[in-house]
């Protein structure tokens, strides 16, 4: 089975892994610093098992209801009917017996679109900031190292080709030393990858994204196993200002009292963020009806196992290197001019670019649906107002007709002469009808003209509409990324609240509405309670972390 072939086993696995590995990989060593070594492994294992169940229920729910995105999944799961192929929601509304159920389903679908819109609008600026922060140090390093090449290799000064490349790379490095320029550059790259509005272009680079994430993990593991460990951190005024040092010892269980509970839950939100791929589950797996349930379980098991091994390796290695001096961004602990760290930055840029593309695609669909819903709501209000105005005008006209009828009865002779004289006007209306018919024929002939504008349009209206939405969303995300300076608290809150809805609440509803009656009641109630409790704790932890002063 080909890895690159559409909807193959390995293609789906690579796509899901690449969606999750780029999110919280750099914060995992800091998470182990908060929990300790063994407790961190236990928390990671717990979240891997819990997220694997939610991923499985979402995939099976999408296949059961034959939908293409998570909004349609919520709509048809509330209706309790599978989607008819190539049939929009509006057509389904007229054929549903229970209008109340259909109205609730449409409102929930609109709410789901709004939640996806806000979730992605917070995540994408965070990723754009990460990308710009990775790219800027590389360009600063290029500016420092390029002048040294002429000293190392004196013959390069005489080469015109070497001067050309020197000026080219130096100009590029100068251009990308500002954050807003880096953000604009990445927005253009994401725009080119997301123009097809499907995962065809993203699937081609998902393998590269997985390779980049694994390479980053290998580099961090190499530093952890290397004999060249950082020195102990020095305290005092004369101590060097460097992050490349370690402090303290490795803790196995960094949990001394119940007061540490909120710290563990905040770490859980970061780990939850590293498993988040739920928005792209249904779009990427909508065409795998040919796969058996066993293969789908294999996809979920492969994804969760790979993420667990990856997270444990990065978290344990990074924490063992710097210990209590581990920063929230592990790359910040290393020297920026280290060749392996530079390579890790390049790998992370590739990985996070794919992650941005995966978040943009469901955002575009939700943005389009939200705009259409707003236009339909405004149109229905306008039509309702028009009908009220027409009703009042018809009542007034009926009253005027009654008064006119009384006048006709009193002046019958005058009405008869008026009707007789009006016979001469009928040929005039006949001429007007002939003119209107001739004008319609001219219009039709103009529409059939080969110079018509529609014959020169290479893109359909839907395609142009989605491209316009893509431009609007990327522009808004880029502006937010330029304005924001820190995203740590934003990620924590987003992971606990908005992401938690898609990780816990929606899978809980899909399980309850579709599979609850087929399983043991005790198992189902326990699983649903576990989902709800975890969501409440994650949301409270995110909100507490937002207002916590550090």
Between the CA of residue 95 and those of 63, 70, 73, 105, 413, what are the distances in Å?
22, 22, 18, 14, 57
Structural domain count of the chain: 1
The pLDDT value given to residue 406: 53
Between the CA of residue 289 and those of 63, 65, 81, 158, 501, what are the distances in Å?
7, 11, 17, 63, 26
Return d(Cα 474, Cα 482) in angstroms, integer: 12
The answer to whether position 520 is within a domain reads yes
Q: Which of 322, 337, 318 is nearest to 222 (CA)?
A: 318
The answer to whether position 253 is within a domain reads yes
Return d(Cα 366, Cα 70) in angstroms, integer: 10
The answer to whether position 431 is within a domain reads no
Say which residue, 384 or 202, is predicted with more confidence.
Answer: 384
Q: Which of 204, 213, 272, 307 is nearest to 498 (CA)?
A: 272
Joined together, the tokens standing for residue 410 give: 């009193």
Q: Are 276 and 23 in contact (CB under 8 A)?
A: yes
Mean pLDDT, residues 425-453 taken together: 45
Joined together, the tokens standing for residue 261 give: 């509970």
Give 245-279 pLDDT, tens digit per residue. Answer: 998 899 888 876 666 677 777 777 777 777 777 88
Return d(Cα 82, Cα 90) in angstroms, integer: 15
Q: Which of 506, 451, 442, 473 is nearest to 363 (CA)?
A: 473
Tell me what the pLDDT averaged over the chain comes to.
Answer: 79
Return d(Cα 505, Cα 503) in angstroms, integer: 7
The pLDDT value given to residue 103: 85
Mean pLDDT, residues 211-227 taken together: 85
Range of the domain at 269: 9-84+94-379+462-547
The answer to whether position 442 is within a domain reads no
Q: Which of 335, 331, 337, 332 is nearest to 141 (CA)?
A: 337
The pLDDT value given to residue 186: 94
Q: Would you call 262 exposed, middle or buried from its count of C-beta atoms within 10 A (0-12, 13-18, 19+)?
A: middle
Percent of the chain at pLDDT exceeding 90: 17
Specify the CATH number for the domain of residue 241: 1.20.1740
- Phi, psi for 7 (deg, rounded to 5): 60, 30
Return d(Cα 267, Cα 492) in angstroms, integer: 9
Question: Could you tell me how far CA 296 lies from the centroid of its own chain?
Answer: 23
Poorest-pLDDT segment among 224-233, 407-416, 506-515: 407-416
Q: Could you tell me the maximum CA-CA distance found in the chain, to the nearest angstrom?
A: 118
The answer to whether position 429 is within a domain reads no
The answer to whether position 402 is within a domain reads no
| pTM, to two decimals | 0.78
Decide: helix, strand or coil at residue 323. strand
For residue 513, the 8-state DSSP code is I
The pLDDT value given to residue 193: 84
The answer to whether position 428 is within a domain reads no
Give 16-50 pLDDT, tens digit per residue. Answer: 887 776 656 788 898 899 888 999 999 899 988 99
The answer to whether position 2 is within a domain reads no
Mean pLDDT, residues 98-112 taken together: 85
Strand partners, 232: 246
Mean pLDDT, residues 369-383 taken together: 83
Give first-to-last CA distance, the chain, whole Å. 52
CA–CA–CA angle 305, 223, 263 (5° rounding): 60
Mean pLDDT, residues 429-457 taken together: 46
For residue 88, the 8-state DSSP code is -
Q: Are 361 and 355 in contact (CB under 8 A)?
A: no
């Amino acid at each position: 089975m080909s890895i690159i072939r559409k909807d193959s086993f390995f293609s789906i696995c690579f796509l899901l892994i690449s969606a999750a590995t780029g999110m919280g990989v750099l914060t995992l060593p800091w998470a182990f610093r908060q929990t300790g070594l063994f407790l961190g492994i236990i928390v990671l294992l717990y979240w891997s098992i819990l997220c694997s169940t939610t991923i499985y229920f979402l995939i099976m729910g999408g296949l059961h209801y034959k939908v293409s995105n998570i909004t349609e999944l919520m709509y048809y799961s509330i209706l309790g009917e599978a989607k008819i192929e190539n049939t929009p929601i509006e057509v389904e509304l007229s054929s549903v017996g229970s209008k109340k159920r259909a109205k609730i389903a449409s409102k929930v679908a609109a709410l789901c679109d709004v939640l996806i819109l806000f979730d992605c609008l917070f995540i994408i600026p965070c990723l754009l900031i990460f990308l710009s922060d990775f790219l800027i140090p590389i360009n600063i390093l290029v500016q420092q190292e390029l002048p040294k090449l002429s000293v190392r290799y004196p013959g390069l000064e005489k080469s015109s080709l070497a001067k050309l490349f020197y000026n080219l790379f130096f100009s590029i490095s100068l251009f990308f030393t500002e954050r807003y320029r880096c953000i604009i550059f990445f927005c253009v790259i994401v725009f080119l990858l997301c123009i097809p509005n499907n995962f065809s272009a993203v699937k081609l680079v998902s393998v590269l994204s997985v390779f980049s994430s694994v390479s980053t993990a290998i580099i961090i593991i190499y530093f952890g196993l290397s004999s060249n460990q950082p020195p102990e951190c020095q305290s005092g005024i004369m101590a060097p200002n460097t992050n490349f040092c370690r402090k303290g010892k490795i803790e196995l269980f960094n949990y001394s009292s119940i007061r540490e509970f909120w710290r563990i839950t905040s770490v859980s939100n970061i780990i939850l963020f590293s498993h988040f791929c739920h928005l792209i589950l249904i779009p990427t797996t909508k065409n795998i009806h040919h796969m058996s349930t066993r293969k789908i379980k294999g996809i979920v098991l492969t994804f969760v196992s790979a993420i667990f091994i990856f997270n444990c390796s990065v978290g344990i290695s990074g924490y063992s290197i710097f210990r209590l001096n581990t920063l929230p961004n592990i790359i910040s602990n290393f020297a920026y001019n280290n060749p392996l760290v530079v390579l890790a930055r390049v790998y992370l840029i590739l990985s996070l670019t794919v992650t941005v593309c995966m978040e943009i695609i469901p955002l575009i669909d939700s943005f389009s649906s939200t705009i259409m819903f707003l236009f339909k709501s405004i149109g229905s209000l306008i039509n309702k107002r028009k009908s009220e105005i027409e009703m009042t005008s018809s009542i007034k006209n009926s009253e005027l007709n009654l008064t006119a009828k009384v006048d006709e009865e009193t002046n019958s002779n005058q009405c008869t002469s008026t009707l007789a004289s009006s016979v001469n006007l009928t040929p005039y209306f006949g001429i007007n009808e002939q003119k209107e018919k001739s004008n319609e024929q001219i219009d039709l002939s103009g529409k059939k003209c080969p110079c018509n504008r529609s014959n020169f349009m290479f893109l359909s209206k839907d395609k142009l509409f989605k491209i316009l939405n893509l431009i609007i969303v990327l522009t808004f995300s880029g502006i937010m990324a330029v304005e924001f300076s820190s995203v740590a608290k934003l990620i924590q809150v987003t992971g606990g609240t908005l992401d938690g809805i898609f990780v816990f609440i929606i899978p809980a509803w899909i399980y309850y509405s579709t599979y609850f009656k087929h399983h043991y009641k005790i198992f189902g109630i326990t699983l649903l309670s576990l989902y709800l409790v975890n969501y409440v704790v994650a949301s409270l932890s995110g909100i507490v972390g937002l207002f916590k002063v550090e």
